[in-house]
Amino acid sequence: MSDSKAILNRLRRVEGQVRGVAQMVEDDRYCIDILHQLQAVKAALAKAEDAILKNHAASCVADAISSGDKGEQQAKFGELVDLFAKVKR
């Protein structure tokens, strides 16, 4: 994963955001403010997910394609299909 440092930094920021949301709940903050922060957390996680998916396509999937190994190609394609199927549920 070539961009792992950037992804880890993004995930650490998300971790901080989640701790902040937990503190907001403990402090009995206004529900809408908490919900806004949760939306921000979801958006940040989505960006991390996108970055990881792009890396997977650019490295793991590309390697499987260039290998010429049909089994490996089908396995990588199957992983992506399974991932997107879970998202739809």
Is this model's pTM higher than 0.85 or not? no
User: What pLDDT sits at residue 29?
Assistant: 98
CA 24 – CA 28 distance, rounded (Å): 6
User: What pLDDT sits at residue 89?
Assistant: 72
pLDDT, tens digit (0-9, with 9 covering 90-100), for 32-86:
999 999 999 999 999 999 999 999 888 989 899 999 999 999 999 899 999 889 8
CA 5 – CA 21 distance, rounded (Å): 24
What average pLDDT score do residues 27-32 get?
Answer: 98
Q: For residue 2, what pLDDT band results from cuts at 50, 70 and 90?
A: low
User: What pLDDT sits at residue 1?
Assistant: 44
CB proximity list for 48: less than 8 A, separation 6 or greater: 7, 10, 11, 14
Q: Where are the domains of the chain?
A: 4-88
Q: Domain 4-88 classified CATH 1.20.58.1000? A: yes
